[in-house]
Homo-oligomer: A and B are copies of this chain.
Protein backbone atom coordinates (compact mmCIF):
# COMPACT_ATOMS: atom_id res chain seq x y z
CA UNK A 1 0.00 0.00 0.00
CA UNK A 2 2.91 2.32 -0.81
CA UNK A 3 1.44 4.22 -3.78
CA UNK A 4 -1.93 4.05 -2.02
CA UNK A 5 -3.63 1.64 -4.34
CA UNK A 6 -2.48 2.12 -7.86
CA UNK A 7 -4.47 -0.97 -8.69
CA UNK A 8 -7.56 0.32 -6.94
CA UNK A 9 -7.27 3.49 -8.99
CA UNK A 10 -7.42 1.69 -12.30
CA UNK A 11 -10.39 -0.43 -11.30
CA UNK A 12 -12.18 2.71 -10.17
CA UNK A 13 -11.39 4.15 -13.59
CA UNK A 14 -12.94 1.20 -15.39
CA UNK A 15 -16.01 1.51 -13.21
CA UNK A 16 -16.22 5.17 -14.10
CA UNK A 17 -15.85 4.26 -17.76
CA UNK A 18 -18.69 1.78 -17.52
CA UNK A 19 -21.00 4.21 -15.77
CA UNK A 20 -20.16 6.99 -18.20
CA UNK A 21 -20.76 4.69 -21.15
CA UNK A 22 -24.12 3.72 -19.65
CA UNK A 23 -25.00 7.38 -19.10
CA UNK A 24 -24.24 8.24 -22.69
CA UNK A 25 -26.19 5.32 -24.09
CA UNK A 26 -29.16 5.98 -21.82
CA UNK A 27 -29.19 9.59 -22.97
CA UNK A 28 -29.89 8.40 -26.51
CA UNK A 29 -33.20 7.05 -25.20
CA UNK A 30 -32.92 3.86 -27.21
CA UNK A 31 -33.79 1.20 -24.68
CA UNK A 32 -33.95 -1.34 -27.45
CA UNK A 33 -30.22 -1.12 -28.02
CA UNK A 34 -29.19 -0.44 -24.46
CA UNK A 35 -27.54 -3.80 -23.87
CA UNK A 36 -24.77 -4.76 -21.49
CA UNK A 37 -22.66 -5.58 -24.50
CA UNK A 38 -23.18 -2.11 -25.99
CA UNK A 39 -22.15 -0.53 -22.70
CA UNK A 40 -19.09 -2.80 -22.48
CA UNK A 41 -17.99 -1.97 -26.01
CA UNK A 42 -18.36 1.76 -25.46
CA UNK A 43 -16.38 1.49 -22.24
CA UNK A 44 -13.70 -0.55 -24.02
CA UNK A 45 -14.23 -3.50 -21.76
CA UNK A 46 -15.64 -7.01 -21.83
CA UNK A 47 -19.23 -7.87 -21.09
CA UNK A 48 -18.11 -10.01 -18.17
CA UNK A 49 -16.28 -7.07 -16.63
CA UNK A 50 -19.48 -5.09 -16.58
CA UNK A 51 -21.23 -7.93 -14.81
CA UNK A 52 -18.31 -7.95 -12.44
CA UNK A 53 -18.69 -4.30 -11.49
CA UNK A 54 -22.46 -4.12 -11.37
CA UNK A 55 -24.32 -7.28 -10.59
CA UNK A 56 -26.88 -6.97 -13.38
CA UNK A 57 -28.58 -4.57 -15.72
CA UNK A 58 -30.55 -3.20 -12.80
CA UNK A 59 -27.38 -2.85 -10.82
CA UNK A 60 -26.01 -0.78 -13.66
CA UNK A 61 -29.03 1.52 -13.59
CA UNK A 62 -28.65 1.73 -9.84
CA UNK A 63 -25.01 2.73 -10.21
CA UNK A 64 -25.86 5.39 -12.81
CA UNK A 65 -28.55 6.77 -10.55
CA UNK A 66 -26.50 7.01 -7.38
CA UNK A 67 -23.69 8.54 -9.42
CA UNK A 68 -26.15 11.07 -10.76
CA UNK A 69 -27.30 11.96 -7.27
CA UNK A 70 -23.68 12.38 -6.17
CA UNK A 71 -22.87 14.85 -8.87
CA UNK A 72 -26.11 16.72 -8.31
CA UNK A 73 -24.73 18.45 -5.23
CA UNK A 74 -28.16 19.73 -4.27
CA UNK A 75 -27.82 18.56 -0.70
CA UNK A 76 -27.28 21.93 0.92
CA UNK A 77 -29.85 23.72 -1.19
CA UNK A 78 -32.01 24.41 1.82
CA UNK A 79 -29.27 25.68 4.12
CA UNK A 80 -27.87 27.79 1.30
CA UNK A 81 -31.15 29.63 0.99
CA UNK A 82 -31.96 29.92 4.69
CA UNK A 83 -30.70 33.49 4.98
CA UNK A 84 -32.82 34.71 2.06
CA UNK A 85 -36.37 36.02 2.26
CA UNK A 86 -39.06 33.41 1.63
CA UNK A 87 -39.72 34.78 -1.84
CA UNK A 88 -36.07 34.87 -2.82
CA UNK A 89 -35.50 31.43 -1.38
CA UNK A 90 -38.35 30.11 -3.50
CA UNK A 91 -36.92 31.66 -6.65
CA UNK A 92 -33.46 30.34 -5.84
CA UNK A 93 -34.65 26.81 -5.14
CA UNK A 94 -36.74 26.65 -8.30
CA UNK A 95 -33.93 28.11 -10.33
CA UNK A 96 -31.31 25.67 -9.11
CA UNK A 97 -33.72 22.81 -9.55
CA UNK A 98 -34.31 23.84 -13.15
CA UNK A 99 -30.59 24.09 -13.83
CA UNK A 100 -30.15 20.57 -12.57
CA UNK A 101 -33.07 19.19 -14.57
CA UNK A 102 -31.62 20.88 -17.62
CA UNK A 103 -28.06 19.70 -17.13
CA UNK A 104 -29.04 16.04 -17.27
CA UNK A 105 -32.27 16.31 -19.19
CA UNK A 106 -31.84 13.43 -21.62
CA UNK A 107 -30.61 11.03 -18.99
CA UNK A 108 -33.30 12.01 -16.52
CA UNK A 109 -35.98 11.60 -19.13
CA UNK A 110 -34.88 8.02 -19.64
CA UNK A 111 -34.63 7.26 -15.95
CA UNK A 112 -38.00 8.74 -15.07
CA UNK A 113 -39.47 6.94 -18.04
CA UNK A 114 -38.06 3.64 -16.88
CA UNK A 115 -39.37 4.29 -13.40
CA UNK A 116 -42.87 4.19 -14.84
CA UNK A 117 -42.21 0.70 -16.07
CA UNK A 118 -39.73 -0.84 -13.66
CA UNK A 119 -40.44 -1.06 -9.96
CA UNK A 120 -36.78 -1.16 -8.99
CA UNK A 121 -35.91 2.08 -10.74
CA UNK A 122 -39.10 3.56 -9.37
CA UNK A 123 -38.18 2.78 -5.79
CA UNK A 124 -34.76 4.37 -6.16
CA UNK A 125 -36.20 7.54 -7.65
CA UNK A 126 -38.95 7.55 -5.06
CA UNK A 127 -36.39 8.07 -2.32
CA UNK A 128 -35.00 11.13 -4.05
CA UNK A 129 -38.46 12.51 -4.73
CA UNK A 130 -39.33 12.03 -1.09
CA UNK A 131 -36.29 14.08 -0.14
CA UNK A 132 -37.28 16.79 -2.61
CA UNK A 133 -40.77 16.79 -1.20
CA UNK A 134 -39.46 17.39 2.30
CA UNK A 135 -37.37 20.31 1.13
CA UNK A 136 -40.39 21.78 -0.60
CA UNK A 137 -42.46 21.23 2.51
CA UNK A 138 -40.13 23.53 4.43
CA UNK A 139 -40.29 26.10 1.69
CA UNK A 140 -44.07 25.99 1.52
CA UNK A 141 -44.29 26.52 5.26
CA UNK A 142 -42.11 29.61 4.99
CA UNK A 143 -44.16 31.01 2.14
CA UNK A 144 -47.50 30.21 3.78
CA UNK A 145 -46.43 32.08 6.90
CA UNK A 146 -46.45 35.31 4.90
CA UNK A 147 -49.83 34.91 3.27
CA UNK A 148 -53.05 32.88 3.29
CA UNK A 149 -53.20 30.46 0.37
CA UNK A 150 -56.56 29.86 -1.27
CA UNK A 151 -56.01 26.11 -1.30
CA UNK A 152 -55.68 23.40 1.33
CA UNK A 153 -52.17 22.71 2.62
CA UNK A 154 -52.03 19.24 1.08
CA UNK A 155 -53.05 20.64 -2.30
CA UNK A 156 -50.46 23.39 -2.15
CA UNK A 157 -47.66 20.95 -1.36
CA UNK A 158 -48.77 18.46 -3.99
CA UNK A 159 -49.08 21.24 -6.53
CA UNK A 160 -45.66 22.67 -5.78
CA UNK A 161 -44.09 19.21 -5.88
CA UNK A 162 -45.72 18.44 -9.22
CA UNK A 163 -44.93 21.81 -10.78
CA UNK A 164 -41.27 21.58 -9.84
CA UNK A 165 -40.95 17.92 -10.83
CA UNK A 166 -38.69 16.84 -13.63
CA UNK A 167 -41.51 15.52 -15.77
CA UNK A 168 -43.29 18.86 -15.71
CA UNK A 169 -40.06 20.67 -16.48
CA UNK A 170 -39.49 18.35 -19.42
CA UNK A 171 -43.07 18.87 -20.58
CA UNK A 172 -42.26 22.56 -21.11
CA UNK A 173 -40.67 21.55 -24.40
CA UNK A 174 -38.52 24.18 -26.06
CA UNK A 175 -38.76 26.47 -23.03
CA UNK A 176 -36.88 23.86 -21.02
CA UNK A 177 -33.85 24.53 -23.21
CA UNK A 178 -33.48 27.80 -21.32
CA UNK A 179 -33.47 26.87 -17.63
CA UNK A 180 -33.60 30.45 -16.40
CA UNK A 181 -36.64 31.22 -18.49
CA UNK A 182 -38.32 28.02 -17.34
CA UNK A 183 -37.45 28.90 -13.75
CA UNK A 184 -39.28 32.22 -14.02
CA UNK A 185 -42.33 30.45 -15.37
CA UNK A 186 -42.31 27.78 -12.70
CA UNK A 187 -41.63 30.25 -9.92
CA UNK A 188 -44.70 32.13 -11.08
CA UNK A 189 -46.73 28.92 -10.76
CA UNK A 190 -45.36 28.09 -7.33
CA UNK A 191 -46.13 31.59 -6.07
CA UNK A 192 -49.66 31.40 -7.44
CA UNK A 193 -50.22 28.35 -5.24
CA UNK A 194 -48.77 29.84 -2.08
CA UNK A 195 -50.00 33.43 -2.26
Contacts and interface: CB of A to CB of B under 8 A. Distances in A.
B163 A29 contact: no
A109 B118 CA distance: 11
Contacts of A150: 188
Nearest to A31: B117
Of A158, A161, A171, A185, chain B has the most CB atoms within 10 Å of the CB of: A171
Interface residues on A, range: 35 or more
Interface of A: 29-32, 109-110, 112-119, 122, 150-151, 154-155, 158-159, 161-163, 165, 167-175, 181, 184-185, 188-189, 192-193
14 contacts: A30-B119, A113-B114, A113-B116, A114-B117, A158-B172, A159-B172, A159-B175, A161-B171, A162-B173, A163-B168, A165-B168, A167-B168, A189-B193, A192-B193
